[in-house]
Amino acid sequence: MSNIRFRALETMHHRKPVAVQLPEGKVSDYFALNVFNQEQMQKYLSKDAYRAVLDAIDHGAGIDRKMAGQIAIGMKEWANSKGATHYTHWFQPLTGLTAEKHDSFFETSDGKALEQFSGNALVQQEPDASSFPSGGIRNTFEARGYTAWDPSSPAFIMERGGGKTLCIPTIFVSYTGETLDNKAPLLKALTMLDKAAVDVCQYFDKDVTKVHATLGVEQEYFLVDTSILNTRPDLQITGRTLFGHAPAKGQQLEDHYFGSIPDRVYAFMLDFEQESYKLGIPLKTRHNEVAPSQFECAPVFEEINLAVDHNLLLMDIMEKVARRHNFAVLFHEKPYSGINGSGKHNNWSLGTNTGKNLLSPGSTPKSNLMFLTFFINTIRAVYEHADLLRASIASASNDHRLGANEAPPAIMSIFLGGQLSKVLNDLEKSVGEKKLTPDEKTELKLNIGKIPEILLDNTDRNRTSPFAFTGNKFEFRAVGSSANCSSSMTVLNTIVAEQLNNFKKEVDLLIDKGMKKDEAILKVLRRYIVESKNIRFEGNGYGDEWVKEAKRRGLSNIQTTPLALDAFVTKKSLKLFESMNIFNHREAEARHEIMLETYIKKIQIEARVMGDMAINHILPAAIKYQTSLANNIESLQDIGLKADMYATQMEQIREISGHITTIKKNVDAMVEARRRANKVENVRDRAILYCDKVKVYFDVIREHVDKLEMLVDDEIWPLAKYRELVNVR
């Protein structure tokens, strides 16, 4: 493993070669080369220490300080053997990004230099919590916070600029125990889900002792040339273009999707893929996406906590590797208006220690009843907490996508496909309130037995649904491409866990009353089918018809983040979070506040950039061009031409004046609206003002700037245009 040879790959950029070192040989030769995985643990840890880690992974068992000390020594030896000089706790503060604070292994003792890493340093670090968002938690309590080791996600070595750092995945909590990050709540949700799902599995299979959620994340992104990006302050600062007329050729020819990958992009992909492989990220798929300069990559699914860590790590790697290739990666949900946005499809399922996928139908009536149980409970959970699920994907950037005519709409609905819709409809009809006759029972069993084992029928796909069943997993498609998907996955796993708990209670009650187990299960499932029927939708989720139909059904359709976030702190949600031990009220409210603050800041920054660009970039260019038109008219008059010979120029001057006036007027009004909003104390009210009173100016300012783009001389237009931005090669 350690004798990997590298070959150089040359890729060109503006005639400058970019040297990329690619490992020779098969991926399996260097996969997880930089991960302290079980194979390495066995090598570097004592038997006891190794077992302690496994116990922590499999059963959430604690690791005592003495044992941590032993593990730290082994981990340090491994890291040093790989050339790592520093270590860091790697965590996920509520900024949505990852954070690191590096310390050196190097210490001096009695004048001698040595490499050290204690158990304490492994299990706990104290970054200054006051520099991370805490939603007021840090004000009332202690300012300090600490990071604590998550043994269920393996440590890894990050290579950067020749340096190597041991990264230890951790949770981040305040000294009083409140969670300040995205990982801790997810781990809590997974613990609850494990317990609830194992309990339900006992009806069918006593061998199931552990259930874990699985996640496969499809990551969409855009690439843009760094040199072109550098002419666009909006893209650089906000991640999206605030101006830009649609290009003559966009995606209308649909020639990009699955097209051949341009050479330079291909080199970038190879480069970030091999970096990812070394860190154990099992990337599998790469292709062009629908929009020009848009691409996607997807790994093989993994246990969900690991999958989330890997997705965050992947995004970090992609951004860094892109720089080597003179590209910038855009993870924003909507970098370009009028061109498809990017999502992060979350493929989610449940796996058991016995190797079964609980959302995969089996070959016997018994295994199919087990499948139906988890399938229908998931539907019931999403139905019950659709608003909370909607809140979990809300962000200023995802607002551009949800509800636009391309991404899943803001209305939560579930697509099942024809076969399973029919199964559920039949089930609903056959199990009524009355007792089943033996014949009916046999028929029902037969019907359930008839669910085909393989449901992966590609013709039966609906790409417009936010939450679609795709044969052996659900695909939550409304998650934004820039999101840390642990927030939506925390909610999904929590609501399914709660639902499974309720299901178990109800079935047990019927069994206690003397009903047969299978019959009790079917009876409860049938009721769930009836109750949650409104959330099932097989049609086109992009159509206006669906908006009307959803309204009729009483489903929410909340278009904007400030209002969508309300669902996070309703009585119902607070009760859910508290009873499932995910957030106490303070934590939930703190998070709500942080999400609102983030929203405000994002819109505020966009408004500022928009104002700056309009006044300092666009208007001067327009005025300059207008002056040259005026000069031209003057010269034409000087040589004695009649007015009708420069009527076009006159008309252009008038048009430009109109746009300039409108832009200036609206920028001023936007600044004023911002001022008024900033004075509002209540954060929710302020967020709503930013949404309704500040953001509304974006469209009109943009419209007039984009008109100017079509009028003003291309030579003096200060910004790269869409045709250049979405044209990576």
CA distance 718 to 623: 12
Angle between helices 418-430 and 438-449 (to 10 degrees): 170
Output the CA torsion 432→433→436→441 (10° steps).
40
Q: Name the residue nearer to Mg ion (CB basis): 188 or 344.
A: 344
Q: How far is the CB of 296 from Mg ion (least distance, A)?
A: 9
Q: Which of residues 153-172 bind Mg ion (CB under 5 A)?
A: none
| Structure-block tokens of residue 514 | 């003397």
**Among ligand ADP, Mg ion, none, what does residue 300 contact (CB within 5–8 Å per kind)?**
ligand ADP
Q: Considering the rule CB under 5 A, would residue 212 count as an interface residue with Mg ion?
A: no
- Residue number of the CB closest to ligand ADP reads 216
Q: Name the residue nearer to ligand ADP (CB basis): 296 or 606.
A: 296
**Among Mg ion, ligand ADP, none, what does residue 499 contact (CB within 5–8 Å per kind)?**
none
364-368, Cβ contacts within 8 angstroms, sequence gap of 24 or more: 364/449, 365/445, 365/446, 365/448, 365/449, 366/204, 367/204, 368/448, 368/449, 368/451
CA distance 540 to 97: 34
**Among Mg ion, ligand ADP, none, what does residue 343 contact (CB within 5–8 Å per kind)?**
none
Q: How far is the CB of 299 from ligand ADP (least distance, A)?
A: 6
Q: How far is the CB of 430 from Mg ion (least distance, A)?
A: 33
Q: Name the residue nearer to Mg ion (CB basis): 212 or 345.
A: 345
Q: How far is the CB of 566 from ligand ADP (least distance, A)?
A: 30
CA distance 540 to 549: 11
Q: Name the residue nearer to ligand ADP (CB basis): 78 or 415.
A: 415
Q: How far is the CB of 461 from ligand ADP (least distance, A)?
A: 8
Nearest to 368 by CA among 520, 518, 213: 518
Cα-flanking dihedrals φ and ψ of residue 503, to 5°?
-60, -50
For binding to ligand ADP (CB under 6 A), which residues are involved? 214-216, 218, 298-301, 347-349, 357, 470, 472-473
Q: How far is the CB of 216 from ligand ADP (least distance, A)?
A: 2
**Among ligand ADP, Mg ion, none, what does residue 465 contact (CB within 5–8 Å per kind)?**
none
Q: Which of residues 395-454 bind Mg ion (CB under 5 A)?
A: none
Q: Name the residue nearer to ligand ADP (CB basis): 134 or 347.
A: 347
Q: Name the residue nearer to ligand ADP (CB basis): 347 or 398.
A: 347
Q: Name the residue nearer to ligand ADP (CB basis): 314 or 388.
A: 314
Q: How far is the CB of 357 from ligand ADP (least distance, A)?
A: 5
Q: Name the residue nearer to ligand ADP (CB basis): 456 or 643.
A: 456
Q: Name the residue nearer to ligand ADP (CB basis): 135 or 299.
A: 299
Residues comprising the chain, all counted: 729
CA distance 535 to 550: 9
Q: How far is the CB of 304 from ligand ADP (least distance, A)?
A: 8
Nearest to 238 by CA among 483, 560, 602, 701: 602
Contact 145, 127 (CB under 8 A): yes
Q: Name the residue nearer to ligand ADP (CB basis): 299 or 403.
A: 299
- Residue number of the CB closest to Mg ion reads 345
515-520, Cβ contacts within 8 angstroms, sequence gap of 24 or more: 517/203, 518/369, 519/436, 519/441
Q: What string marks each residue from 328 to 347 as x (binds Mg ion by CB under 5 A) or -?
A: -----------------x--
* Size of residue set near Mg ion by CB under 5 A: 1
**Among ligand ADP, Mg ion, none, what does residue 292 contact (CB within 5–8 Å per kind)?**
none
Q: How far is the CB of 651 from Mg ion (least distance, A)?
A: 50
Match 């208006």 to its residue by tokens: 337
Q: What angle do CA 452, 507, 387 make, to 5 degrees?
A: 75
**Among Mg ion, ligand ADP, none, what does residue 472 contact (CB within 5–8 Å per kind)?**
ligand ADP
Q: Kindly provide the residue ranges of all beta strands, DSSP E only, lying in 45-155, ordered along the sequence.
A: 86-91, 99-104, 106-109, 112-115, 124-125, 145-149
**Among Mg ion, ligand ADP, none, what does residue 727 contact (CB within 5–8 Å per kind)?**
none
SS3 372: helix
Q: How far is the CB of 5 from Mg ion (least distance, A)?
A: 36
Cα-flanking dihedrals φ and ψ of residue 109, to 5°?
-145, 125
Q: How far is the CB of 678 from ligand ADP (least distance, A)?
A: 43
- Which phi-psi region, left, alpha or beta, contains residue 302 (left: φ > 0; alpha: ψ -120 to 50)? beta
CA distance 195 to 71: 28
Q: Name the residue nearer to ligand ADP (CB basis): 198 or 680.
A: 198
**Among ligand ADP, Mg ion, none, what does residue 404 contact (CB within 5–8 Å per kind)?**
none
Burial of 266 (C-beta count, 10 Å sphere; 0-12/13-18/19+): middle
Q: Name the residue nearer to ligand ADP (CB basis): 52 or 215.
A: 215
Contact 135, 594 (CB under 8 A): yes
Q: Which of residues 345-374 bind Mg ion (CB under 5 A)?
A: 345
Q: How far is the CB of 463 from Mg ion (least distance, A)?
A: 8
Binding interface with Mg ion (CB under 5 A): 345
